[in-house]
Structure 1
Amino acid sequence: MHPQSPPARQWRVPVILPVAKLAGALVLVALGLLFAGGDRVQPVLAGLAAVGLAGWGLRDLVAPVRLAVDPEGITVIQGFAGRRRLPWPAVEAIRVERRTRRGLTAETLEIDAGESLHLFGRYDLNAPPEEVAEALRAARAAAAP
Structure 2
Amino acid sequence: MSGQPWRIKPVLPVTKGLGAVAVMVLVTAFGRDEAVQWVLAGAVTIGCALWALRDLVAPIRLAADAAGVTVIAGFARRVWLPWAQIDRVRLDRRERLGIATQLLEIDADEALYLFSMHDLGTDPHDVLAELERLRAESSKNAGDQ
TM-score interval for Structure 1 and Structure 2 normalised by the shorter chain = over 0.9
Q: Match of 2:19?
A: 24
Does 2:61 match 1:66? yes
Shift of 1:47: 1.1
Equivalent of 1:12, from 7, 13, 25?
Answer: 7
For structure 2, the residue ranges without an aligned partner over 5 or more in a row are: none
After TM superposition, the score normalised by the length of structure 2 is 0.93
**Alpha-carbon separation, structure 1, partners of 2:33 and 2:95:** 45
Structure 1 stretches (4+) deviating beyond 4 angstroms?
Answer: none
Q: Match of 2:44?
A: 49
Secondary structure of 2:79's partner? Answer: strand
Equivalent of 1:141, from 136, 139, 142?
Answer: 136
Equivalent of 2:127, from 100, 122, 132?
Answer: 132
Q: Which moved more, 1:86-95 or 1:28-37?
A: 28-37
Richer in helix (by share): 2
For structure 1, the residue ranges without an aligned partner over 5 or more in a row are: 1-5
- Amino acid in the other structure paired with 1:7: S
Identity %: 44
Q: Which moved more, 1:99-108 or 1:39-48?
A: 39-48
**Alpha-carbon separation, structure 2, partners of 1:79 and 1:37:** 37
Shift of 1:71: 1.5
Shift of 1:143: 1.2
Contact between 1:32 and 1:47, CA under 8 Å: does it hold in 2? no
Shift of 1:37: 2.3
- Amino acid in the other structure paired with 2:81: L
How many residues in Structure 1 have an aligned counterpart in Structure 2? Answer: 140
